Structure 1
Amino acid sequence: MSAQPAAVPAPRYRHGLVIGKFYPPHAGHLSLIRQALACCERVTVEVLASSAESVSGELRADWLRVCLPSARVVTGVDDEPVDYASPTAWQAHTAVMLSLLDPADGPVDAVATSDSYGAELASRLGASWLQVDPGRQALPVSGRRIRSDPARYWWALPAPVRAWFVRRVAVVGAESTGTTTLARALSDHYRLPQVPEFGRQWSRQRPGGLDAAWASVEFDLVARVQAQWEDEAAALTARPLLITDTDVLATSLWHERYMGSRSASVEALAASRRPDLYLLTGDEIPFVQDGLRDGEHIRHDMQESFRRTLAAGPVPWVELQGSHEERMAEAIALIDELAAEPRPMSPPLSEAHVGASTMSDGLRVGAEREKTAAGPHDDVLTDALEEC
């Protein structure tokens, strides 16, 4: 007789609550929510964003929904001052939390946190307190540390959050200006995943080949797939950097070249996903026919169109000329400078407006104990303020 699988124990609680800024979501947050899901029939995750923060609460909630679809993730604005010693502040924060709950889920009977404020919050909600990984011993990471150095804590970031932090460099240019050669070489230099040009692949496989007239809808397809390839690579890259061979803005210029005008839909997509730097490959080198190119006679006009468009836009750009080695050297210097600065995030409300002096004596003692256990480089006081 084959062995029977062990019965899965029933959840101990009906409705669990996890709160935080999730600024940004990281492995510690996901572990905390998974622990709550394991012992609660349903779990509400509340993203308590403030107007001082530069990443919207809804985007953070979307990231969590992708990572943990079985949790109910909601978001609200909480600009109340963080003061653990103030009953008024506690009441204000609790009111925001209660307003985000769905009455159909029933009252909260479990609150899951890592930090010591969970005891007070659970008491105010008439719930049990589930403390998970106190002092962050298992997963020594916090949103504050990630904001200051995302590359160091890259291991702790879920894929959609990684994609947001990635610094993106788009290599663009007219036909036969060395864009693909440079993009590939730079990706190899930084050991990054390749992001090829989908438009080139589509040119090979499109019905009718190069002789058939182009349709506007084809450029919508090219733009969407190019954006998808870029985002997939950004989620997989081993560091917060990505080099792309062309981008959606370039697709808009090719639409104008073939259709006589810009595409509103492609332009809108391009405006929603601007890179951090454009590298424009110069057109001073000879034209080389590869069997797909058909614009030698207008190559310099196309290059001028790129220059005008980039000059009118908000993204920094540099035109690279000279030999491949000279282009590489200049590009690497520019990218190294860009990659040295993490994507900026404004400080959360707690860091911007609250000092440790606002903490109650009881919470201070608990947090200092956690800080000692976690090590001299951890600032649990700040982390606790941030997550409440």
Structure 2
Amino acid sequence: MKHIPKIAVVGPESTGKSTMSDYLAAHYHTIAVPEYSREYCAALTEPCTWQDEINMFQGQLALEASLLPKANHVLICDTTFLTVKIWSEHMFGQAPQEVLDELPKHPYDFYLLLDIDLPWQDDPLRNFPELREHFMAVWHKELTALQARYVVISGIDTNRYENAVKVIDDFLTAD
């Protein structure tokens, strides 16, 4: 089977990841893997538990695996299960071992780390408007630890999308 490059769109809350992922999927005539945890958390009636984090990790992996065969030359991923590691460490002080074990086994070819230069948008599933700089630093640390290829995407409105398309085009033509 031909290798389909996986491009992950990641970053702190309220940086436009879902909108960017949908835009990029349309631009590249492919499919975007949605953020599994968004729908999962929307259905919760109690605060998120350790088991919920594991369920979100497993759900994100399964969703990505099910959509990869439908991708057209590139797969756009609206976040990755690295988010489970980051949130688990923030909420519970540690990440599930199975998440840590799987991280090096599920690499992404390229990451777009969306900058916190967009205004905060309230959403019932967003919790930490005052910690955006903290989580931006965490994302840099995590991507560096994975030795991931990534670029920070900044800009407002169409400029943000144009910046993302340019770096993806450069990435796809370089490989």
Same fold by TM (over 0.5)? yes
| Contact 1:173 1:303 survives alignment (8 Å) | yes
Residue 175 (structure 1) aligns with = 13
Deviation at 1:197, TM superposition (A): 0.5
**Aligned AA for 2:162?**
A
> CA separation in 2, counterparts of 1:174 and 1:215?
20
Q: TM-score, normalised on structure 1?
A: 0.43
- Paired residue for 1:295? 128
When the two chains are superposed, the root-mean-square deviation of aligned CA atoms in Å is: 1.6
| 1:235 is aligned to 2:69 | yes
AA in 1 matched with 2:132: R
SS class of match (1:194): strand
SS class of match (2:30): coil
What CA distance in whole angstroms lies between the structure 2 residues aligned with 1:329 and 1:232? 29
Which residue does 2:150 correspond to in 1?
317
Residues 1:216 and 2:37 are matched in the alignment: no
Q: What is the rounded CA distance, in whole Å, between the counterparts of 1:260 and 1:295 in structure 2?
A: 17
Which of 163, 184, 199 is equivalent to 2:22?
184
Percent same amino acid at aligned positions?
A: 25
Q: Please give the alpha-carbon distance, in whole angstroms, between the structure 2 residues aligned to 1:205 and 1:176.
A: 20
Matched residue, 1:246: 79
Deviation of 1:284 after TM superposition, in Å, equals 2.0
Determine helix, strand or coil for the equivalent of 2:118. Answer: coil
Deviation at 1:301, TM superposition (A): 1.0
Counting only pairs closer than 5 Å after superposition, residues 190-201 of structure 1 correspond to structure 2 as: 190-201=28-39
Q: Give, in angstroms, the shift of residue 279 of structure 1.
A: 0.4
**Cα separation, 1, equivalents of 2:32 and 2:142:** 25
- Cα distance, 1:312 vs. partner? 2.4
* Residue type at the aligned position of 1:192: T
Q: 1:215 Cα deviation (Å)?
A: 1.9
SS at structure 1 position matched to 2:26:
helix
Report what 1:328 is aligned to: 161
Shift of 1:330: 2.0
Decide whether the 8 Å contact of 1:171 with 1:179 is kept in 2: yes
Maintained 8 Å contact 1:182/1:324: no
1:203 partner amino acid: C
Out of 255-264 and 298-307, give the one that drifted further: 255-264
1:304 aligns with 137
In structure 2, C-alpha distance between the alignment counterparts of 1:240 and 1:231, rounded to whole Å:
15
Structure 1: tracts of 5 or more residues without a match: 1-160, 343-388
Aligned residues: 175
Q: Which amino acid aligns with 1:253?
A: I
Structure showing greater Rg: 1
- Residue 331 of structure 1 aligns with an amino acid whose one-letter code is A
d(CA) in 2 for partners of 1:325 and 1:267? Answer: 36
- State the Cα distance separating 1:182 from its structure 2 match: 0.8
* Structure 2: gaps (5+ residues): none
Deviation, 1:277, is 0.6
What stretches of structure 1 move > 3 A for 4+ residues in a row? Answer: none
Residue by residue over 1:212-232, the C-alpha shift from the partner in whole angstroms, topping out at 9 and shown as x without a partner, is 2x3222111111111111122
TM-aligned CA distance change 1:280 to 1:291, over 3 Å:
same
Deviations 1:259-291 (A, max 9, x none): 122222112222211100110110122111022
